[in-house]
Structure 1
Amino acid sequence: MATQQLDNLLEQIRRCEICKDHLPLGPRPVIQAASSAGMMIVGQAPGTRVHETGIPWNDPSGDRLRSWLDLDRTTFYDPKQIAIMPMGLCYPGKGKSGDLPPRQECAPQWHPLVWPLLPNIGMTLLVGQYAQQWYLKDKPKTLTETVRAWRQWAPKYIPMPHPSPRNIRWLKDNPWFEEEVVPFIREYVHQHLKGTRG
């Protein structure tokens, strides 16, 4: 029953056009989910490559994210194991310094409907400030402070920096993330997800 409900909801989401007038490339909602999924990844919004392919995290940022998780593409893209639901489901367009923020219509419209149909999620990765602002109450002001306080919400929520190549400097300045947080996430992955690593 829940599986059919989720399938119906995903079909509805993929037809969504609530903010089509604001999308330079038109609507193409990107989401991945199944009722058996054990991990959720909440990111920002698709980039142009993801928009073109319809495959979430299908870019260099996704390569680094999969490296952090120690997962191959087959397992990462298995909706029965990993759900992926960005804050904005469609590519929002270009801004002065990168992509625009996720459209504000998406999360309030769809996130509350999806969550009740995913009863097996044990860990949710909150990738970037927009996901963290939405899901974490009383969080510190900056992304660095929020990620540093990750134990406060673990294992339910894990705040993370975006794995974008633009964040190489942040990762170099904050080596504790890959020394402390990434191993904790991998331990969950190894215990709860099946499939080939690496």
Structure 2
Amino acid sequence: MKRLQETLRLCRRCQDQGYLEQALPVVSPVPHEGLIGGLMVIGQAPGLRSQQRGIPFGGPGGRILQSWLEQAGFPPGYLHQRAYLSSLTRCYPGPAPHGQGDRRPSPQELALCRPFLEAELRLLRPRAVLLVGVMAIEAFWGKVKLEEIIGTGRIEETRRWLPLPHPSGISRWLNVPRHREQLQRALTLLADWRRELGL
């Protein structure tokens, strides 16, 4: 795992192929052995605050996500102290060309980073994976609408997958009352998994 993370930190694939001016991968701290088989969180890509701080989910979205975990019964600080944080791509993609938020990584960037994510899943063997935001959900679930998927989960033999909306102030999805109800169903399901799996 340490070798993989060091390779990640040195990666300049997207920069070398012209997708990024500068590659600055953001990598979760090396987990202790107790995190093997635990909780993994997969997002879209690091935001500007995450890149500046060198911490995955290091901005306001991380604080909101931690508050969701607490609603599901996880202790304060769990997100950055106990979960393994990953993303589809590892470098801040830059601002969106039009409007607010960050640029969506291109399919080519996603493909360049995918082997790292697959290796993390193989090495960490997480029993529960939170897919945060549409891009992360679709990378493992296929094309879906949040309205159809939030509040549900998928259970495989050794792994459970839970889709969550993006915890961003820019996203307006949670402004709709029924969408907030869906989020609450998702967090109730996560609380059940926490107890069952001892997370």
For the aligned pair, the TM-score class normalised by the smaller chain equals: 0.7 to 0.9
- With normalisation by structure 2, the TM-score equals 0.80
User: Across the two proteins, how many residue pairs are aligned to each other?
Assistant: 180
Question: Which of 121, 132, 144 lines up with 2:147 in the alignment?
Answer: 144
Q: SS of 2:41's equivalent?
A: strand
CA distance in 1, matches of 2:26, 2:43: 11
- Checking the alignment, whether the CA contact within 8 Å between 1:18 and 1:105 is kept in structure 2 is no
Taking every aligned residue pair, what percent have the same amino acid on both sides?
26
Structure 2 counterpart of 1:179: 184
Structure 1 counterpart of 2:136: 131
CA distance in 2, matches of 1:107, 1:19: 9
1:55-92 CA-partner distances (Å, limit 9, x unpaired)? 1111111111000001423x3222xx311111111101
CA distance in 2, matches of 1:188, 1:14: 32
1:101-159 CA-partner distances (Å, limit 9, x unpaired)? 1332344231122221112x1110001111111112xx5631221224x1344871001
1:22-52 CA-partner distances (Å, limit 9, x unpaired)? 224x212122253532001000111111111
- Checking the alignment, whether the CA contact within 8 Å between 2:154 and 2:162 is kept in structure 1 is no
CA distance in 1, matches of 2:140, 2:186: 18
Once the two structures are TM-superposed, the CA of residue 188 in structure 1 deviates from its matched residue by: 3.4
Structure 2 counterpart of 1:163: 167
Letter matched to residue 22 of structure 1: Y
- Checking the alignment, whether the CA contact within 8 Å between 1:17 and 1:27 is kept in structure 2 is yes
- Checking the alignment, whether the CA contact within 8 Å between 1:69 and 1:189 is kept in structure 2 is no
More relative contact order, 1 or 2 (CA 8 Å, 6+ apart): 1
Structure 2 counterpart of 1:50: 50
- With normalisation by structure 1, the TM-score equals 0.80
Once the two structures are TM-superposed, the CA of residue 171 in structure 1 deviates from its matched residue by: 4.6
Matches within 5 A, 1:28-43: 28-32=24-28, 33-34=30-31, 35-37=33-35, 38-43=38-43
CA distance in 1, matches of 2:65, 2:59: 10
Q: SS of 2:153's equivalent?
A: helix
Q: Note the residue ranges of structure 2 that are not aligned, 5 or more in a row.
A: none
For the structure 1 residues 156 and 17, does the alpha-carbon distance in structure 2 shift closer, same or farther, using more than 3 Å as the test?
same
Structure 1 counterpart of 2:9: 14
Letter matched to residue 72 of structure 1: P
